[in-house]
Structure 1
């Protein structure tokens, strides 16, 4: 389990400022609302993202939970939880969901959240991270499709990985926590 470290990052984008920090108890409802809004109407969404973070938290499987905050409001969120690869733990984490309030998208919030999450996972010694998402977006962070690293519940071109502290990619089937329903 990743032990939360104090994360505070002030980001200035144009005239809009926000900061990144670890979630606190009073953020839980806002995280739910931001996630629900971020995934509403998304064709690839199955509608479960809004409940996922709560399920991971309840199962004590939420390894990382960061929010972006502006003017006292939660405008974005990113989560990570440990994954099993080839049936065992290898110090790798699944990132997701990543949520940004629709009126704050395209303003650098998601980029800042991802950068902060990857920095924290790297600092805590994580071997690497996997995610399911748009290759055009996530390649900018170094994520890539890795032959032999398989998530059978999705198209292969959308399942990507990034080595953080591991010298090489593991091989095998990736299993997310049962909260993901897969």
Structure 2
């Protein structure tokens, strides 16, 4: 498995992967496809890593900037997707670890994620109550500060994450 930055040639495979990975969700993957397409279109896709297995895209992890009043250089993780046949083999873990390391190397202040606390705790994410996302249950909105910049308050994602932006 090779973790690398996406190329233009990967876009169709990423769309297909998002559709497969989220086929059982309410939007059948269309929501995640729209988010990535809109982030890319608006120049807000800060980092998109893919897991390449023998030339096949097996996973993707997307990072984009988030806005927090009084704080700079924070990012949101998501969507993250792994092809159903590759799930449970460490693909998602490798993508997330590589992405967090890259953000840290770029001088990011931290990263937030809306997700399963038990899964994301392995990367150091936790809910400290200091950062909030209005559309999410608080226990599922997690943060990972890379440096103590005192970030507190409401987190705003790119409009593509809003259900209203369909």
Query: What is the TM-score normalised by the length of structure 2?
Result: 0.92
Which residue of structure 1 lines up, in the alignment, with residue 159 of structure 2?
178
Q: How has the CA–CA distance of structure 1 residues 21 and 139 changed in structure 2, closer, same or farther, with 3 Å as cutoff?
A: same
In 2, the alpha carbon distance for the partners of 1:121 and 1:82 equals 11
SS at match of 2:9: helix
In 1, the alpha carbon distance for the partners of 2:160 and 2:114 equals 15
After TM superposition, the structure 1 = structure 2 runs for residues 42-53 of structure 1, keeping only pairs within 5 Å, are: 42=25, 47-53=30-36
Deviations 1:113-169 (A, max 9, x none): 0000000000000000000001110000000002131101011111000011x2255
After TM superposition, the structure 1 = structure 2 runs for residues 1-182 of structure 1, keeping only pairs within 5 Å, are: 18-42=1-25, 47-86=30-69, 90-164=72-146, 166-181=147-162
Contact persistence 1:83–1:89 (CA under 8 A): no
Count of equivalent residues: 163
Specify which structure has the higher proportion of helix.
2
Q: Which runs of 4+ in 1 moved over 2 A?
A: 42-47
